[in-house]
Amino acid sequence: MRQSKHKKVRYRCFSFKRLLIIPIFIYLMVPVFAQEHEISGIVTDKSGTPLPGVSVYVEGTTIGTTTDVDGKYQINAEPESSLKFSFVGFHTESVDVQNQTEINITLIPDVIELSDVVVIGYGVSKKSDITGSIASVSSEEMMRKNPTNVLQGLQGIAPGVTVTRQDGAPDGFASIRIRGIATITGSTKPLYVIDGAQVGQDIDFLNPSDIESIEVLKDASATAIYGAAGANGVIMIKTKQGKAGAPKITFSVDYGVQTLASTLDVGDADQYAENIRVARAYDGAILANEIFSEDYDGVRKTIDWQDEMTRVSLKQQYNLSASGGTENTQHNISLGYLNNDGIVVNTNYNRITGRASVVTKAADFIEVGGDVNFIHTESKGSNISYGNNGNLSSLRDFAFYCPTMDYVDPITGEHISPNVVNSNGTYGTYIQSSVGTYDGNAGDNIYAVQMENNGLTKINRVLTRVHAEIDLFKGLTFKTIGSYNLYNRNFENFWGNKHRYMPDGVTEVELANYDDRYHLQIDNSQSNTIALESFLTYNWSNDVHNVTLMAGNSLSNSFGSWSQASAVDFPGDNIRDVSLTSDPTTRTGSGAYNLDVRGISYFGRAVYSLKDRYILTGTLRQDGSSNFGAGNRWGTFPSVAAAWRISEESFLVNNQVINNLKLRIGWGQTGNSGGPTDKSVAALTSETIQYFYYPQGGTAGLGSVRQLANGYAIPLVDTRLKWETNEQTNIGIDLGVLQNSLTMTLDYFTRISSDLLLNRSIRPSAGYTEVYTNYGEIENKGIELGLTYKKQVTGDWYLSVGLTGSSVKNEVKKMGADLLSVNGETTNDGSNVGAVAAPSGVHWTGHSICREGYAVGSYYGYEVEGIFQSQEEVDAANASAVAAGHSQYQNQNTGPGDFKYKDIDGDGFIDENDMAILGNGFPKLNYGLNIYAAYKNFDFSMYSYGVLGQKIYSYSAMTLSNIFPGDNQTTPNILQESSDEAWTPENESTTIPKLTMLDYNYNMRGSDAWVKNGDFLKISTIQIGYSFSNEMLNSMRIGSARLYVSIHNVATFSSYNKYGDPEAGQGSVLFTGLDTGRYPYPRTYSAGLNIQF
Amino acid sequence: MKNISKILFTLGSILLLLGITSCDEEFLEVDHYSILAADQMFKSDEDAKAGLVGCYDMMLPVAETNGDWGIKPNLFIGGHPTMDTQATGWDKDWNTQNWNAGSPELLSGWKHCYKAISRTNDFLTGLEDADKITPSLKKSLEGQARSIRAFFYMWLAKAFGRVPMLATGEDYINTPAKARAETYKEMWDFIIEDLEAAVPLLDWDPLDGQYGRCTKGFALSYLGEAYMWKAFRVPDEATANYKEAADALLQVIESEEYELNPSFTTLWDPGAVWTKECIWETVLDEGSQWNSWSNLTDAHTWHTYFTACPAAGGWGTLYLSWEWWSSYEQGDKRRDASGMTGPVEDIDPDWKSPTNYGYNPYLQQSIAGGDELTHHYHYYKDGEAAPAIWSLKTWRTCRADWQAMWGPQQIYYKRYANVLLDYAECLFNLNGENDATAWGYINDIRERAFGNLEVGKKEDLESTYLPYYQQIAQFYYDNGDTEVSIPDEYPIPFNDDLVTVPDAKTYYTQLKADKGFTSPVWLVALGMERRKEFNTEWCLAQDLIRSGFIEDHITTNYPKGEGYPNTNPLVQDAWQTHRTFDFVPEKMDMPIPTEELLKNPLCDQNEAYK
């Protein structure tokens, strides 16, 4: 550290021999030639990049010049004089001229090394002074992964920061959780702060290539300065800014080819038919569709839906930026474009990002700056209303779909073999119920459905920010940041009037129960946030003491509105105007202003450092939120933390092994005010309330005489709603050994959330089933480890290895009554719970439970004791049940080959009281391993991450093992392995029950049979790069250039792969670890080029 | 100069900080665009009336399906314990006293009642402080609200025994846990207090002439019943409470505001609702269209669809027993007004209806053809059997049609006939089994049952009740059923001549001897008359329980071990209900729902289910 402050001047192009000769020569010549001579040279930065605009002058004179665009200069000076090189942002250097005619110099930045400084709330701090738990992520490291969005870039890089992708869609969701889950119904997303301005809980709008560095504030002593907003951690992002000097232009291009990384091994049409025949026999039923009889084995056509629905797709990304400026004004502009065709047909994501920033010094004590960020995205084909989670893009959905559309016409007896796509481009489909019955599928050709999916989501977002920073007096600065954040979302869809054709492509199929009218839907919403934050910072120090005080306040206001319009029945397929519907009664329109959310905060922080060894930090924040009623609006959140830099003590200061050792301990509170809500205000209900009055002897028939009265009711509201409190204690060690080539960060923390804001399930005699209130307590305990080894191994070899690991135990400490999840609801955060539909149909009702003593959203279901092997076993179980006063043990139609469930409550039969907690979706360990190596101009990097001790509650495994037609109108096509291993009288030693379509026993129900080991190791990225040498580039006036090739989603090692990708992220905390299938993660082969001019 | 600038900037910074801090509380006050403030409810007379609509709203089913307050759970609690209505399939436990605390139907009824009580409590709380409401209206509103609250508490009390009693001002926020009323006396006194208070606040005529509102007659009729329940639950105070009950019921009788309809048969016809016999009912309107999902309101349920014969497109939720069908005397028109049988091939001639044998005369629908399953005493399908009798009280106004499953319905909670029989019960309890007045009221009911009140009124009755059936016939004809004829007379003929009705006391004395009832004759008479009068009405089970007849009824009318189990195909041709369980009187109080026990630590379970 100290060494880094020393001036480092390196001279180039001088051989040792010349160094010896020159002084002698000078000595001899001085009396004679003690006069000016011309000196020339090049000024560069550390990377060798020429620095234009550097002031070069002869010390003590007015003689001077500046370097040209190539960093070159020429100047005349006397040998006894000195040259001064001055440039904003760099240390001024002085060089004695003597008799040199060529002086090349490298300037050192006039700032503390980036790696030694971290951005904290409302300021920056030397890393050595940090008392809280903070993880740093460099842009360089993140960008080696070519991330589409910021969360992808963060995956597996920082300990305690768990990023889980939810699907592989081109606009795919990912969830990020810092130090576990501290809420049940609220958000788990962290706060993002960009260049000091809070921007909310989404970062989708920021192009990763615009990022300079990221700090993740994890413990409360670090986040408490953001009070309520920082309850789930804070991610501080510093964006790239312009630098004084000649304009710098960078351009990067990344071009990738995406393929399906893996497939599910389901059966072909003949295996499918055999399964149906076997099941029908067990069910005591005959085939409904003759096509599945043995007569058609080898004849019926197999459709590989996984192949039909996916494709090799292209992904291209371009970024262009230009920066530069003078000593007083710097600017930076950038433009990015991403076009990502998903690997599922007719899916696409398009993104344009733009950013411009400028900083100027109006005077030597005042700086004003600002930036504008813009993003436009268009998403098509995924995450909209069809199939699994409202989209038809889950690999499991494709795989388990009936693998043939063949059928035997019940009237003509003809074997019909529809095509997915006919030769003339028209689509075929399954047998229609108007023609006959079916065993396989009652739905439509999913390829056709997907190709006709016109839904398009457009998002426009603008974030603009202005700041002013004033040095008021020595050590005292004032900074104010104003920001405006606009989010606009538009969804439009036009559909209807579909047509399907027989294999000839001409004969149209009469679709059963089909509304052939055109539908038009247009949704719009927009939200705005205006915020202003101002704070004063004062610093005073001497050789012993260093004090930094900061105090300020902020206020914010969020507002918006939404509208929707739709209609049905249009005269033509070109019409996109709701008013032109042929049936005005179908016109709908609605909209509203959003509830404003306002906040005011006051905050302060004091940091005291004694002898640069003992550091104490205290923060206090008071937040006021409009979410609560008067009297409960304000919450106060303190924190305190201390650090001891042990390595600065006398007994360690010169230790050759331990270079850095710091002990940190901290405690703090943050709060959570929940989302915008009317739920603290006593109000009249918005539900329809009406009643009917009649005259005496009135009529109730057609044309009845009655009077309709509309009315009011007051729903249950907790007007005493208050802040949710999040309390965290942290103890950590930072260690650096062997010249800091090996560093370690180890943290242990506890995080307790209390007074949770949640919809509490309440006694039914209250008249309501739940109320939004403060209740409950959740505890997270965890340990985090970060290990980094960086070493210049030899002159040409550089090696960096990073290992992260974290383990979090989540437990509901106080809950009251159990909270069981409700199926069939699709959440807007990407949770695929919609797939677990029809709760009574598939008997997965309440598969997620929150119960005291267990993790949030634990798995809930039945325990399988085994499989009934004979009717005698079934009869014996039923006889015992009857003796205990029940009708039967499980179901009256339970038979051999069905699961036998455990009678947990011991009452002699199976009902919902025999459901138990089967585990949870929190892995015992999250880890990441990242390797970077460089040899000369080549570099290599590999990123991997994984989990251990992970259980997955796999609805996918169930639907790939059981042929009960539960959803998507299809009898599932199960895994070949499940077909082979399903119970038969001859195959008793198995864990797969018999094949049955009726499934009287509900073998499909949520049970531990479907809880699978989800451990995995994923090699996410391998990249090889080559940086061209300056010598090669100078002639082309190129500053630097790097070419790379990479593979993403290289391999996943897991026993779960047969059911799908084990990385089963969900947006909702209640469904952590639930796998219902998802848009497949693509494998991407890409190549790219980064050039700087 | 530089220092001046700095000073100016410093001042500006301070002003900026001060400016922001001055916003404070006022800044945090936001407008709520999508809600109406709670105090809106009492800003005017009209607002207050609308607030009361929120309470009345709970009288209607929550949705168009059967979930919360439609046919279930009323059928399960008010019908199935008598075994006269019978369940099959998933609901079959309701015929064997195997109902349990986890029953979703019990929970939905429990939640619905408490939601209604919560609304009335909120309304009464606000009404207390409302100073902008016309005083006379305020009185009426209070009387109506207290009547509604008493109605729902009575439903809970009759179904579950003792329940948590939440008073005005109590809600979940200030009372997160609540014990059940400690004693039956405490609980029924709470209900009686509401009804006693409501009586003087209400008029005989409903407010604004709007039938569907609680009246003095409502309050008095339920007050009488409440006292009878208290007499049943608190035997030590029985006599005093029967006296109070009799006093209240006599006021209703002597008011002459109510009278029996001339024809029992027409009570479920859409041609006249809120007749003079009606003290409380829920009228469900069919909407304005027959074949569209549009125009749905809360006043729709799927009663018709659920209770119609499956062979005619219905769901088959409700069946009536042959024990009930065979209980009628020849000439009692209530049987044919209440149900129809399948075309059972070897049916007892006395059980063969001239109008309703395999045929729904109101809808001109035959179940004789097609599905042969209807041709047996039991409709046996998919391993489940149920008596081949369906209710015409609910399957009368429209055909079971998946595209339009709602028809107009009248769901009676209290008729004048209830008051008369309740009053008779009080008199028997007070004066013994020879009370002539009490026997007189039973005979009045029987005179109407045999059609003697119809005599001479055929023209009036047909002008009131026939047009609907002409209209619906025309509708079906227009929609393609050309077999339908437009009727020119009422589907079940009215009596032209008086008939002789056996004297009740004589008849039931003999019946007791013949069947071996153990109850006194008056109780047998009341119980059997109630079965005939109130089948498929939800007061029946509780009337039999409260009066003390239920055990005698089950053990005598449904002897154990007769017939065949429902899973035995031989059940098809046996008419008896196969009872396997021993009657447990304590199970007549339903179990407190599990969810209440889990979430209300102060609430305990009824003894029979512990």
The larger pLDDT score, comparing residue A949 to residue A886, is at: A949
- The verdict on a CB contact (< 8 Å) between A817 and B29 is no
Q: Can you tell me whether residue A658 is helix, strand or coil?
A: strand
Whether residue B122 and residue A817 make contact (CB cut-off 8 A), yes or no, is no
Q: How confident is the model at residue A796 (pLDDT cuts 50, 70, 90)?
A: confident
Residue type, A34: A
| Bridge partners, residue A518, by sequence | A496
Of B20, B119, B409, Cβ closest to residue A534: B20
Nearest to B61 by CA among B318, B284, B305, B319: B284
Task: Quote the CA–CA distance of A843 and A849 in Å, as a whole number.
Answer: 15
What DSSP string describes B410-454?
EEEEEEHHHHHHHHHHHHHHHH-TT-HHHHHHHHHHHHHHTTTTT
- Rounded distance, CA A383 to CA B279, Å? 55
Please list, in sequence order, all residues whose beta carbon lies within 8 angstroms of the beta carbon of residue A662, skipping any fewer than 6 positions away. A128, A643, A644, A645, A646, A647, A733, A734, A735
Instruction: Report strand pairing: A658-672 vs A777-792.
Output: unpaired
Confidence at residue A35, expressed as pLDDT on a 0 to 100 scale: 64
Interface of A with B in 671-700 (CB under 8 A): 678, 681-686, 688-700
Average pLDDT, chain B: 91
What pLDDT does residue A388 have?
A: 45
pLDDT digits (tens, 9 = 90+) for A901-939: 999 999 899 988 899 999 999 999 999 999 999 898 899
- On the question of pLDDT at A19 being above 60, the answer is no
A874 near A894, Cβ under 8 Å?
yes
Q: Give the model's pLDDT for residue B376.
A: 94
Closest residue in B to A678 (Cα) is B32
Q: CB pairs below 8 Å between A and B: how many?
A: 283
Per-residue pLDDT band at A168 (split at 50, 70, 90): confident
The answer to whether B286 and B397 are in contact (CB under 8 A) is yes
Residue A387 has pLDDT above 50, yes or no: no
CA B392 – CA B337 distance, rounded (Å): 7
Kindly state whether B593 is in contact with chain A, defined as any CB-CB distance less than 8 angstroms.
Answer: yes
* Three-state secondary structure call for residue A1060: coil
In chain A, residues with a C-beta closer than 8 Å to the C-beta of B117 are: 767
pLDDT class for A8, splitting at 50, 70, 90? Answer: very low
The Cα diameter of chain B in Å comes to 121
Q: Mean pLDDT, to the nearest integer, of B289-298? A: 50
Q: From CA B115, how far away is CA B110, in angstroms rounded? A: 9
A554 CB neighbours in chain B (<8 A) are 20
Q: By mean pLDDT, which of A698-712, A1015-1029, B60-74, B349-363 is the weakest? A: B60-74
Å from B540 to nearest chain A CA? 25
Q: What is the mean pLDDT of residues A120-135?
A: 76
For residue B114, what pLDDT band results from cuts at 50, 70 and 90?
very high
Distance from CA of B405 to the nearest CA of A (A): 15
Taking the C-alpha atoms of residue A104 and residue A312, their distance in angstroms, rounded to an integer, is 52
A187-219 residue pLDDT tens: 788 888 888 888 888 887 788 888 888 888 887
Q: What is the pTM of this model?
A: 0.78
Higher pLDDT among residues B96 and B127, named by residue = B127
φ, ψ of residue A720 in degrees (nearest 5): -100, 20
Task: Report the pLDDT value the prediction gives residue A33, as an integer from 0 to 100.
Answer: 41
pLDDT per residue as tens digits for the range B188-246: 999 999 999 999 999 999 999 999 999 999 999 999 999 999 999 999 999 999 999 99
Nearest to A403 by CA among A440, A450, A437: A440
The tens digit of pLDDT for each residue in A659-682 reads 889 999 999 988 888 777 888 888
Is it the case that residue A114 has pLDDT exceeding 80?
no
CA gap B355, B340 in Å, rounded: 8
Is A478 within 8 Å of chain B by CB?
Answer: yes
* B268 in contact with chain A, both atoms CB, cutoff 8 A: no
B 53-82 near A (Cβ less than 8 A):
53-57, 59-60
Q: Which residues of B touch A475 (CB under 8 A)?
A: none
Q: CA-CA distance, A670 to A286, in Å (whole number)?
A: 64
What pLDDT, on a 0 to 100 scale, did the predictor assign at position A171?
A: 76
- Which chain B positions have a beta carbon within 8 Å of A681's beta carbon? 32, 35, 37
Touching check for A592 and chain B: CB below 8 Å? yes
Lowest pLDDT segment from A380-389, B412-421, B438-447 = A380-389
Of A410 and A414, more confident: A414
- The residue among A585, A763, A840 with the most chain B CBs within 10 A of its CB, best to mutate, is A763
> Using the beta-carbon criterion (under 8 Å), do A700 and B285 form an inter-chain contact?
yes
pLDDT digits (tens, 9 = 90+) for A714-736: 888 898 888 888 899 999 999 99
How many CA atoms are closer than 13 Å to the CA of B254, on its beta-carbon side? 6
pLDDT per position as a tens digit, B452-505: 999 999 999 999 999 999 999 998 998 889 999 999 999 999 999 999 999 999
**CB-based contact B28 A625, cutoff 8 Å:** yes
The pLDDT assigned to A953 comes to 94
- Percent of chain B whose predicted confidence (pLDDT) is above 90: 75
Q: Which of A285-299, B428-442, B522-536 comes out lowest in average pLDDT? A: A285-299
How far apart are the CA of A561 and the nearest CA of chain B, in angstroms?
10
Whole-angstrom Cα distance, residue A637 to residue A648?
Answer: 32
Question: Which range (A95-109, A969-983, B210-224, B427-441) has the least confidence?
Answer: A95-109
Inter-chain residue contact B57 with A700, CB threshold 8 Å:
no
Q: In this complex, do A701 and B275 lie within 8 Å of one another by their Cβ atoms?
A: no
In chain B, which residues have their Cβ closer than 8 Å to the Cβ of A913? 102
Nearest CA to A286 out of A295, A277, A299, A297 is that of A277
The continuous run of DSSP H or E covering A840 comes out as: helix A839-842
Overall average pLDDT of the A318-342 stretch: 91
Amino acid at the residue B223: L
Q: Judge: B50–A712 Cβ closer than 8 Å, yes or no.
A: yes
Q: How far is B272 from chain A (nearest CA, A)?
A: 5
pLDDT band at A222 (very low <50, low <70, confident <90, very high): confident
Q: Is A595 or A827 the better-scoring residue by pLDDT?
A: A595
Alpha-carbon distance B92 to nearest alpha carbon in chain A (angstroms): 10
The answer for B 542-561 residues in CB contact with A (under 8 A) is none
pLDDT at A107: 77
3-state secondary structure A993-1059: CCCCCCCCCCCCCCEHHHEEECCEEEEEEEEEEEECCHHHHHCCCCCEEEEEEEEEEEEEECHHHHH
| Banded pLDDT at A111 (limits 50, 70, 90) | very low
Average pLDDT of every residue of chain A: 85
Q: How far is CA A981 from the centre of its chain?
A: 38
In the stretch 866-895 of chain A, residues with CB closer than 8 A to chain B read 885, 887, 892
Give the CA dihedral B408, B413, B414, B415, nearest 10 degrees.
30
| A351 vs A208: CA distance, rounded Å | 12
What would the two tokens of residue A110 be? 């006039």
CB atoms within 10 A of CB B345: 10
Confidence at residue A888, expressed as pLDDT on a 0 to 100 scale: 86
Scan residues 759-788 of A and list those with Cβ closer than 8 Å to B: 761-769, 771, 773
User: Which of chain A's residues have a Cβ under 8 Å away from the Cβ of B24?
Assistant: 600, 624
CA distance B125 to A724: 30
Establish if A21 touches chain B: CB-CB under 8 angstroms: no
**A588 or A106, greater pLDDT:** A588
Higher pLDDT, A479 or A126: A479
Q: Token pair 């530069």 is at which residue? A: A324
Q: Which phi and psi (to 5°) does residue B105 adopt? A: -70, -40
Residue contact A711–B408, C-beta within 8 A:
no
**What pLDDT shows up at residue B420?**
98
CA distances from A1026 to A586, A931, A1033, A1040, A1044 (A): 61, 16, 13, 11, 6
Written as one letter, the residue type at A1034 is N
> Which has more pLDDT, B435 or A834?
B435
Please tell me the predicted confidence (pLDDT) of residue A835: 59
Task: Please list, residue by residue across A199-219, b when 16 or more beta carbons sit within 10 angstroms of its beta carbon and e when fewer do.
Answer: bbeebbbbbbbbbebbbbbbb
B170 reaches A (C-beta below 8 A): no
Q: Which residue of A has its CA nearest to B593?
A: A764
Interface probe for A, chosen from B1, B57, B257 (most Cβ of A below 10 Å), is B57
**Contacts of residue B275 in chain A, CB cutoff 8 Å?**
696-697
Task: For A58-96, write each residue's pLDDT tens digit.
Answer: 887 778 787 887 788 888 888 888 888 877 667 677 888
pLDDT grade, residue A2 (50/70/90)?
A: very low
Portion of chain A with pLDDT greater than 70, in percent: 91
More confident residue, A33 or A534: A534
Residue tagged 């038979």 (tokens): A895
CA distance B378 to B573: 6
Q: B25: which chain A residues are within 8 Å (Cβ-Cβ)?
A: 624, 630, 633
**Mutate which: A471, A558, A597, A765, vs B, most B CBs within 10 A:** A765
Predicted local confidence at residue A46, as pLDDT = 66
- Would you say residue A109 has pLDDT above 70? no
Q: Distance between the two ends of chain B, CA-based, in angstroms?
A: 89
CB A803 within 8 A of CB A789: no
Q: Which residue has the tokens 């991450």?
A: A945
Question: What is residue A968's predicted lDDT score, i.e. its pLDDT?
Answer: 67
pLDDT at A16 exceeding the cut of 50: no
pLDDT score, position A723: 87
Query: Which residue type is seen at B543?
Result: D
Using a CB-CB distance cutoff of 8 angstroms, which residues of chain A are in contact with residue B16?
480, 534
Tell me what the mean pLDDT of segment A545-560 comes to: 92
Can you tell me the mean pLDDT for A34-42?
Answer: 78
Asked whether residue A13 carries a pLDDT value surpassing 60, the answer given is no
DSSP per-residue codes, A487-551: EEEEEEEEEE----B-TTSSSBP--TT---SEEEEEEEEEEEEEEEEEEEEEEEE-SSEEEEEEE
- DSSP conformation class of A50: B
| β A864-867/A899-901 pair status | antiparallel
pLDDT tens for each residue of A619-651 = 999 999 888 887 888 989 999 999 999 988 988
Write out chain A residues lying below 8 Å of B270, CB-based.
Answer: 699-701, 704
For residues B565 and B580, give the distance between their C-alpha atoms in angstroms, rounded to a whole number.
9
Tell me what pLDDT residue A385 has: 40
User: pLDDT band at A389, cuts 50/70/90?
Assistant: very low
Residue of B211, B282, B592 for testing the chain A interface, max A β-carbons within 10 Å:
B211
- For residues A737-749, give the mean pLDDT: 91
Helix ranges (H only) for A597-689 are: none
The predicted structure's pLDDT at residue B103: 85
